[in-house]
A and B are shown apart, each in its own frame.
Chain A
Amino acid sequence: MSILELQAATIKFGGLIAVNEVSFKLEKGDLFGLIGPNGAGKTTCFNLITGVYKPTSGDIIFHGRQIQGTPPNRIAQLGICRTFQNIRLFPALSVLENVVVGGFLRHRTTLAGALLYLPSSLRETRRLKDEAMDYLKILDLDGVPNARAADLPYGMQRRLEIARAMATKPELLLLDEPAAGMNPQEKQDLMETVKRIRDDHGITILVIEHDMRFVMNLCERIVVLDHGEEIAHGPPEAIRNDPKVISAYLGEPV
Chain B
Amino acid sequence: MRFWSIRLASVLIALGACVLLQALVGHASDYEQRIVVLVGLYITLSVSLNLINGITGQFSIGHAAFYQVGAYLTGYLTLNYFSKQPIHNMLLWVILMMFVGAIGAAVAGFIVGLPSLRLRGDYLAIVTLGFGEIIRITVQNQPAIGGSYGMNVTPKYQSVALVWLLAIICIAVCRNLLKTAHGLPFLSVREDEVASQAMGVNVTRVKVTAFLIGSAFAGAAGALLAHFEGFITPTTFGMDVSFIILTMVVLGGTGSITGSIFAAALLAYLPEYLRGLKGADGQPLMIPGSNVVAWLVAVAVAVTLTRLVMNKYSGDKLKKLALYLGAFALAVVSRFIAAFFLRMIPVMANKQIPIDQVRMVIFAVTLIVIMLLRPQGIFAHHEFSWSWVKGLFKRGEVPHSAVSA
Contacts and interface: CB of A to CB of B under 8 A. Distances in A.
Interface of A: 50, 52, 71-73, 76-77, 81-82, 84, 88-94, 97, 100-102, 104-105, 107, 109, 111, 114-117, 119, 121-122, 124-125, 128-129, 146, 148, 164-165, 168
9 contacts: A73-B202, A76-B200, A88-B194, A93-B404, A104-B185, A114-B183, A115-B177, A121-B180, A121-B182
A111 B404 CA distance: 21
B209 A92 contact: no
Contacts of B198: 50, 52, 72-73, 76, 81-82, 84, 88
B199 interface: yes
Given A73-B201, A73-B202, A111 B405 contact: no
B181 A124 contact: yes
A90 B192 contact: yes
A117 B180 CA distance: 8
B351 interface: no
A235 B137 CA distance: 69
B369 to A, nearest CB: 26
A81 B201 CA distance: 12
Contact of A119 (B3, B173, B197): B3
A115 B173 contact: yes
Nearest to A98: B188
A21 B273 CA distance: 72
B224 interface: no
Given A116-B176, A119-B3, A88 B195 contact: yes
Contact of A97 (B3, B179, B213, B404): B404
Contacts of B7: 117
B177 A76 contact: no
B375 to A, nearest CB: 16
B203 interface: yes
A81 B404 CA distance: 26
B293 interface: no
B53 to A, nearest CB: 15
Given A92-B404, A93-B188, A93-B405, A128 B200 contact: no
A169 B177 CA distance: 24
B215 to A, nearest CB: 15
Contacts of B195: 84, 88-90
Contacts of B213: 115
Contacts of B404: 92-94, 97, 146, 148
Contacts of B192: 88-91
A102 B181 contact: no
A124 B180 CA distance: 8
A84 B185 CA distance: 19
Contact of B196 (A101, A109, A125, A146): A101
A41 B184 CA distance: 33
A92 B405 contact: yes
B229 to A, nearest CB: 29
B176 A114 contact: yes
Nearest to B181: A125
Nearest to B400: A146
Contacts of B405: 92-94, 97
Given A90-B191, A90-B195, A92-B404, A105 B201 contact: yes
B283 to A, nearest CB: 50
A59 B177 CA distance: 40
Contacts of A89: 191-192, 195
A50 B198 CA distance: 7
Contacts of B183: 114
Contacts of A115: 173, 176-177, 182, 213
Nearest to B184: A101
B187 interface: yes
A116 B176 CA distance: 7
Nearest to B182: A114
Interface in B195-234: 195-203, 209, 213
Contact of B191 (A52, A72, A93, A105): A93
A97 B187 CA distance: 10
Given A109-B182, A114-B176, A114-B182, A81 B187 contact: no
Given A88-B194, A97-B187, A111 B199 contact: no
B63 interface: no
B187 A90 contact: yes
Most chain A CB within a 10 A radius of its CB, from B3, B180, B183, B192: B180
A93 B173 contact: no
A88 to B, nearest CB: 4
B136 interface: no
A123 to B, nearest CB: 10
B335 interface: no
A100 B182 contact: no
A102 B192 CA distance: 13
Nearest to A107: B181
Interface string B164-186: 00000000110011011111110
Given A77-B200, A91-B192, 13 more contacts: A71-B197, A73-B202, A81-B199, A92-B191, A93-B404, A101-B199, A109-B182, A114-B180, A115-B213, A116-B176, A121-B180, A148-B404, A168-B200
Contacts of A97: 184, 187, 404-405
Most chain A CB within a 10 A radius of its CB, from B184, B381, B405: B184
Contacts of A90: 187-188, 191-192, 195-196
A179 to B, nearest CB: 20
A101 B405 CA distance: 14
Nearest to A96: B404
B191 A104 contact: no
The 9 closest A-B pairs by CB, nearest first: A105-B200, A76-B200, A90-B191, A114-B182, A88-B195, A117-B176, A114-B180, A125-B181, A72-B197
A128 B181 contact: yes
A100 B404 CA distance: 14
A72 B196 CA distance: 9
